[in-house]
């Protein structure tokens, strides 16, 4: 499933390991200062916006499981399932570009619909 010889995948997995362990500081150490992330709600630029996006998610995260992970020199593609307080199964996929040991670009896919539904149900 995982190919540890891929430099990009090594970083993607270290990043995944950090944020799924609720260690956001360590996770951010793998993120380039000028990260660009295309997330469902739109483009995030820079570590400030990126951390602002990840922090609330890490707070509601109660579990995670890697589904598949692949990579080559500069690109890694991973898919995982997460368990969160409002949504029992919230799978995600990330395609990241890695340069000099840092994630410089991320394409991030998850389904916002169950989170929207949980928010509406809570109000």
Residue 65 C-beta: closest distance to its own copies, Å:
11
61/83 Cα distance (integer angstroms): 6
Q: Which residue bears the tokens 């029992």?
A: 88
**The only residue of 72, 102, 104, 118 in contact with its own copies, by rule CB under 8 A:** 72
Closest Cα to residue 37, out of 115, 103, 113? Answer: 103
Does residue 4 touch its own copies according to CB under 8 A? Answer: no
Q: Which of residues 7-66 bind its own copies (CB under 8 A)?
A: 38, 40
103/95 Cα distance (integer angstroms): 10
Does residue 121 touch its own copies according to CB under 8 A? Answer: no
Site pattern 77..116 for its own copies (x: CB under 8 A): xxx-----------xxx-x-----------x-xxxxx--x
Residue count, binding to its own copies (CB under 8 A): 24
- Rounded to 5°, the CA angle 45-99-40 comes to 35
Residue 20 C-beta: closest distance to its own copies, Å:
17
32/75 Cα distance (integer angstroms): 15
């Amino acid at each position: 499933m995982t190919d540890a010889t891929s430099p990009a995948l090594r970083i993607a997995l270290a990043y995944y390991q950090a944020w799924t362990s609720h260690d956001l500081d360590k996770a951010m150490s793998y993120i380039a200062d000028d990260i660009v992330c295309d997330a469902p709600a739109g483009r995030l630029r820079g570590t400030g916006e990126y951390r602002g996006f990840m922090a609330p998610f890490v707070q509601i995260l109660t579990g995670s499981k890697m589904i598949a992970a692949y990579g080559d020199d500069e690109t890694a593609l991973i898919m995982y399932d997460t368990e969160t307080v409002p949504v029992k199964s919230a799978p995600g996929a990330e395609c990241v570009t890695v340069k000099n040991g840092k994630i410089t670009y991320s394409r991030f896919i998850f389904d916002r619909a169950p989170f929207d539904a949980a928010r509406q149900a809570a109000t």
